[in-house]
């Protein structure tokens, strides 16, 4: 963990960060996370996606057209007793937080498949070594141009809006830090794929897919959800869900008050 010089841009960024952390009025999760079930289901190296409820989260969800605005990597008890996540937070930088932090949020577990123990340890080690990195404040200034009002931006441009950043390796945003960790062990997220055609001695055409690494700054939280290389894990199902044991009420649901629109 290295000390980093505070700059005027960092101070202004932290001021803006504080404003952007204000919650969106009326934002509530569909379901509260069961921390005990989450902890039981999670494994070190899993990515936990979070649906945030502040103004910055709303902008990220709009720009990426996704439910998910934040990502953290689960490291288990690597930092001591308990269940720990490592994440890059606006205004804080790269920090370790307890799993219980997201008890009141909508979450999703994305699991890389068939990781070797060595690669799993490498993921955790990289994230632990990243503790203390600053959040890439330049990313905030890149995004501010598109926060309010929300412009009619073509979908193909939205990703670039959150992918600029400073490029400083001592700074990161949540998804780019985790993408960097996976790329270091050459685990795919959403790689660029080209197809190469060759002919063998029997003159039969052969096709081979070549994977190319995207720069880690181009990844958003939703990419771990969309990736065909990550498994979606549902803690309730992992805990042995049986629909036959549910208790249903036959009474009519109470009437909901009308809301103005």
CATH number for the domain whose boundaries are 8-239:
3.90.1720.10
Which range, 7-11, 14-18, 249-253, is most confident?
249-253
Which range, 116-120, 174-178, 186-190, 211-215, is most confident?
116-120
Q: Looking up tokens 């101070």, which residue turns up?
A: 11
Angle between helical axes of 55-64 and 137-144 (0-180°, round to 10): 70
Averaged pLDDT for residues 160-166: 49
Furthest CA-CA distance within the chain: 74
Confidence tier at 25 by pLDDT (50, 70, 90)? low
The yes-or-no verdict on residue 223 having pLDDT over 70 is yes
The yes-or-no verdict on residue 121 having pLDDT over 50 is yes
Angle between helical axes of 8-20 and 55-64 (0-180°, round to 10): 90
Q: What is the pLDDT of residue 66?
A: 81
The yes-or-no verdict on residue 161 having pLDDT over 70 is no
Confidence tier at 108 by pLDDT (50, 70, 90)? very high
H or E element that contains 84: strand 84-89
Which residue from 168, 125, 190, 141 is spatially nearest to 4, judged by alpha carbons? 168
Q: Tokens for 79, please give them.
A: 């930092």
Phi-psi region of 248 (alpha: psi -120 to 50; beta: other; left: phi over 0): beta
The yes-or-no verdict on residue 125 having pLDDT over 90 is yes
Whether the full predicted model's pTM is greater than 0.85, yes or no, is no
Tally Cβ neighbours within 10 Å of residue 199. 9
Angle between helical axes of 137-144 and 8-20 (0-180°, round to 10): 60
Q: Which residue did the predictor score with more confidence, 12 or 122?
A: 122
Q: Which residue did the predictor score with more confidence, 122 or 134?
A: 122
Averaged pLDDT for residues 32-36: 75
CA 163 from centre of chain: 14
Q: Looking up tokens 């960790």, which residue turns up?
A: 181
CA distance 66 to 79: 31
**DSSP β-bridge partners for residue 194:** 210
Strand order of the β-sheet with 230-233 is: 93-98, 84-89, 70-76, 47-51, 106-112, 230-233
Contacts of 137 (CB under 8 A, 6+ apart): 9, 10, 12, 13, 14, 17, 166, 171
The yes-or-no verdict on residue 170 having pLDDT over 50 is no
Averaged pLDDT for residues 88-97: 86
Angle between helical axes of 117-129 and 174-184 (0-180°, round to 10): 140
Tell me what the pLDDT averaged over the chain comes to.
76
Phi-psi region of 114 (alpha: psi -120 to 50; beta: other; left: phi over 0): left
Confidence tier at 164 by pLDDT (50, 70, 90)? very low
Q: What is the pLDDT of residue 75?
A: 97
Q: Give me the half-sphere count of Cα atoms (radius 13 Å) on the Cβ side of residue 104.
A: 4
Which of helix, strand or coil describes residue 54?
A: strand
Confidence tier at 187 by pLDDT (50, 70, 90)? very high
CA distance 70 to 76: 19
pLDDT above 70: percentage of residues in the chain: 59
Averaged pLDDT for residues 43-50: 96
């Amino acid at each position: 963990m290295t000390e980093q010089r505070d700059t005027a841009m960092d101070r202004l960024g932290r001021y803006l960060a504080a404003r952007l952390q204000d919650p969106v009025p009326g934002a509530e999760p569909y379901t509260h996370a069961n921390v005990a079930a989450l902890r039981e289901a999670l494994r070190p190296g899993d990515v936990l996606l979070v649906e945030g409820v502040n103004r910055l989260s709303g902008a990220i969800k709009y720009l990426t057209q996704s439910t998910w605005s934040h990502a953290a990597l689960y490291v288990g008890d690597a930092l001591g007793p308990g269940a720990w996540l490592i994440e890059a937070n606006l205004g804080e930088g790269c920090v370790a937080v307890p799993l219980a932090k997201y008890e009141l949020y909508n979450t999703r577990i994305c699991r890389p498949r068939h990781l070797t123990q060595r690669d799993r340890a490498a993921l955790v080690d990289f994230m632990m070594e990243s503790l203390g990195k600053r959040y890439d404040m330049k990313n905030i200034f890149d995004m501010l141009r598109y926060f309010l009002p929300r412009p009619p931006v073509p979908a193909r441009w939205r990703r670039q809006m959150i992918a600029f950043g400073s490029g400083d390796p001592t700074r990161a945003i949540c998804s780019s830090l985790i993408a960097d960790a996976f790329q270091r062990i050459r685990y795919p997220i959403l790689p660029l794929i080209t197809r190469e055609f060759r002919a063998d001695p029997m003159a039969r055409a052969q096709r081979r897919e070549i994977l190319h690494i995207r720069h880690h700054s181009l990844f958003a939280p939703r990419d771990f959800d969309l990736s065909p290389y990550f498994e979606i894990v549902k803690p309730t199902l992992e805990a042995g869900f049986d629909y036959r044991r549910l208790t249903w009420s036959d009474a009519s649901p109470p009437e909901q008050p009308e809301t103005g629109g």
